[in-house]
Amino acid sequence: MKAVLEYWPVLARGLWVTVWVALCIIPGAALGAIILGALRLSDKWTIRTASMLLIEFVRAPSALILLFWVFYALPLIPGMPRLSPIAAAILVLALDGAAYGAEIVRAGIEAVHSGQTDACHALGLSKLQSFTKVVLPQALSQIVPAFGSLARSMVKWTAIVSFIGVQDVLYVGNYIRAQTYDTATIFCLLAAIYWILTVLCGAAFRTVEQVLPLNRTLQAARLPVRDAPALDTTAGAAQ
């Protein structure tokens, strides 16, 4: 263990790379999931079909195969750019997360009563205004918990970026293992690191759940119910 501690500055840099990749891919996947999920419910069948095909095209291969394809095979096509390892990793993992999250968003939007959309149309709101100001804020109470579980998985997905040379915490851990031959300690340490990261990610999403407009409204609506006995007691004492 002492030999492993000597490499803590390198391990800290690898941990920062892992955290940075996770901080990039989770918001990117969330934005992509909202767009793809909304397109899945479009009134035009061409848009619905195109979005469904894109989602299935991304989800069909494993994330690792897609990562290899983007990093190694894509530059071989004339006119295609050669991405840096970290750029390719962020692009692929964010796109993969968006494809899986799109179905979460679709289900959350469908959970909102259709009368909400009808009311928006009656008030003269456009489809975009109805979606962004009425439907999506209500759907988030259903979307965020499920997407939080996906985000925790995405933190663990970052481990595959080491296969294309990104020096994340797994890449550094393997380097330290090769230098110290302390395999058990290194992999126990890596397991603890990923566990801590996923716990922090889950805590962040639980915090987001608490501040959602619909959840705050429901919490405020429960307050008078809890305070009612105290108010009745006060009123009886006053009489």
Residues 93-112 have pLDDT tens digits of: 999 999 999 999 999 888 88
Closest CA to 153 of 10, 29, 14: 29
Question: Contact 104/146 with Cβ under 8 angstroms?
Answer: yes
Q: Percentage of the chain with pLDDT > 70?
A: 87
Residues 7-43 have pLDDT tens digits of: 888 889 999 999 999 999 999 999 999 999 989 888 8
pLDDT at 129: 81
pLDDT at 235: 43
- Which has the minimum average pLDDT: 56-60, 62-66, 117-121? 117-121
Residues 142-187 have pLDDT tens digits of: 888 899 999 999 999 999 999 998 999 999 999 988 888 888 888 9
Residues 127-137 have pLDDT tens digits of: 778 887 888 88
pLDDT at 134: 81
Tell me the average pLDDT across 200-216. 83
Written as one letter, the residue type at 82 is R
User: What CATH number does domain 2-238 carry, 2.40.30.40, 1.10.3720.10, 3.40.50.1000, 1.10.1840.10?
Assistant: 1.10.3720.10
130: Cβ contacts below 8 Å, ≥ 6 apart = 116, 117, 120, 121
Closest CA to 67 of 36, 25, 23: 25
Long-range contacts of 200-207 (CB under 8 A, 24+ apart): 201/22, 201/26, 201/148, 201/151, 201/152, 201/155, 202/148, 202/152, 205/144, 205/145, 205/147, 205/148, 205/151, 206/148
Classify residue 221 as exposed, middle or buried by CB count within 10 Å of its CB (0-12, 13-18, 19+).
exposed
Residues 175-204 have pLDDT tens digits of: 988 888 888 888 999 999 999 999 999 999
pLDDT at 212: 77
Pick the more confident residue, 232 or 28: 28
pLDDT at 236: 46
Residue 195 and residue 101: Cα distance in Å, rounded?
A: 22
pLDDT at 36: 93
Return the DSSP state at 165. T
- Total number of residues shown for the chain: 239
pLDDT at 211 over 70: yes
pLDDT at 233 over 50: no
Please state the domain extents for the chain.
2-238
